[in-house]
Amino acid sequence: MADVQPPPLRSLDDFLLSSARFALPDVRDLDRWNNRIINNLLYYQSNYLLSALCFLLMVGYCEPFQLFVGATVVTLLFLGFVWAAENQAPIRLVLIHASVRLRSLKNKLENRLESIGLKRTPMGLLLEALGQEQEAGS
């Protein structure tokens, strides 16, 4: 980690102005589009960081309270995720309970409603986002 060196700040001319070239990506060639994004993120990373800081300073000047509230929410969410990652006892308790608890008729009915889309729950959405949606009828 001590060997990490920030790349140089690219000139404004290279980043945005006259010598900069822009073109819409070919959406049919996702590999090429992905390659362009990665290369630009690496090459202009200092410029992107400086741009983000300038934008945050402008927002902080124009809307200081909203910036403070947003920063507080992001910080609390980050700390919550760090705490959950380090303190795995509550997560283990939930997983153990979900593993050993047998399903009742009411449980099966609720799961059926969730699987056919008549009812949406936060856990159902989370499991769907993680690719763990339940097969109908199982």
Q: What is the pLDDT of residue 1?
A: 60
The C-alpha angle with vertex 20 and arms to 16 and 24, in degrees rounded to 5, equals: 95
Q: Is the pLDDT of residue 134 over 70?
A: no
More confident residue, 136 or 75: 75
More confident residue, 90 or 64: 64
Would you give the distance in Å from CA 57 to the centre of its chain?
23
What is the band of 105 on the pLDDT scale with cuts at 50, 70, 90? confident
Q: What is the pLDDT of residue 118?
A: 64
Helix ranges, 6-118 (H) = 12-15, 30-43, 45-62, 64-86, 89-100, 105-115
| Half-sphere exposure for 97 (CA within 13 Å, toward CB) | 6
CB 96 within 8 A of CB 76: no
